[in-house]
Amino acid sequence: MPITNHERVGKGMELLQRGLQPFLESELTDAYGPKWRDKVKQLLGDTRLQIGGEGLDVAALLVIMDREWKDLFSTRLGRSHLAIVNELIAVRNSWAHQEAFSNDDTDRALDSVTRLLRAAGAAPEANTADEI
The whole domain housing 55 covers 5-130
Q: State the pTM of this model.
A: 0.92
The count of domains in the chain is 1
Backbone angles phi, psi at 78, to 5 degrees: -85, 170
pLDDT, tens only, 73-101: 999 999 999 999 999 999 999 999 999 99
Question: What's the pLDDT score for residue 53?
Answer: 66
Question: What's the pLDDT score for residue 87?
Answer: 98
Q: What angle do CA 131, 105, 55 make, to 5 degrees?
A: 65
pLDDT, tens only, 55-68: 789 999 999 999 99
Q: Is 52 a residue whose pLDDT tops 80? A: no
Backbone angles phi, psi at 55, to 5 degrees: 110, -150
Q: Look at residue 94 and give its three-state secondary structure.
A: helix
